[in-house]
Structure 1
Amino acid sequence: MNWEAIGALADSVGVIVVIVTLIYLTIQLRQNTKAIKHSTDRGVFDDANKWMFTLIENPEIAELYVSGMQDEKLTSSEKLRFSLLLNTLFVHWNHAFETGAFEIVNNSQIKGVLSRPGGAAYWNRTLVSESISLSDGFIAHVNALDNELKRVES
Structure 2
Amino acid sequence: MNWDAISAIAEVLGAVVVVASLIYVGRQVGQNTAMMRVTAASETLERDYDLVLPLIESQEFTEIWLKGDNRLNDLSETDRQRLLFFERRAISLWHHNFQLRMQGLYPDANWHNQNWMIQTIGHRQAIREAWSVFKDSHETSFQEYIDKQFKIADDESKER
Could you say which residue in structure 2 is the equivalent of 1:126? Answer: 131
Could you say which residue in structure 2 is the equivalent of 1:66? Answer: 66
| Paired residue type of 1:110 | I
Q: CA deviation at 1:41?
A: 2.5
Q: CA deviation at 1:108?
A: 1.8
Could you say which residue in structure 2 is the equivalent of 1:110? Answer: 118
Q: Distance in 2 between matches of 1:142 and 1:131?
A: 9
Could you say which residue in structure 1 is the equivalent of 2:155? Answer: 151
Decide whether aligned partners of structure 1 residues 125 and 54 sit closer, same or farther in structure 2, where only a CA change above 3 A counts: closer
Decide whether aligned partners of structure 1 residues 76 and 124 sit closer, same or farther in structure 2, where only a CA change above 3 A counts: closer
Could you say which residue in structure 2 is the equivalent of 1:141? Answer: 145
Could you say which residue in structure 2 is the equivalent of 1:93? Answer: 94
Count of matched residue pairs: 150
Kept in 1: contact 2:135–2:143 (CA 8 A): no
Unaligned runs of 5+ in 1: none
3-state SS of 1:32 partner: helix
| Paired residue type of 2:35 | A
| Paired residue type of 2:75 | L
Task: Give me the TM-score of the superposition, normalised by structure 2.
Answer: 0.81
Decide whether aligned partners of structure 1 residues 55 and 130 sit closer, same or farther in structure 2, where only a CA change above 3 A counts: closer
Any idea what the Cα deviations from partners look like across 1:52-104, whole Å, max 9, x if unmatched?
Answer: 22211222222221122232500010001110110111111111112213742
Q: CA deviation at 1:149?
A: 2.8
Kept in 2: contact 1:54–1:61 (CA 8 A): yes
Pair 1:45 & 2:45 matched: yes
Could you say which residue in structure 2 is the equivalent of 1:11? Answer: 11
Unaligned runs of 5+ in 2: none
Kept in 2: contact 1:94–1:135 (CA 8 A): no
Q: Pairwise CA RMSD of aligned residues? A: 2.2
Could you say which residue in structure 1 is the equivalent of 2:20? Answer: 20
Decide whether aligned partners of structure 1 residues 90 and 144 sit closer, same or farther in structure 2, where only a CA change above 3 A counts: same
Task: Give me the TM-score of the superposition, normalised by structure 1.
Answer: 0.84
Could you say which residue in structure 2 is the equivalent of 1:56? Answer: 56
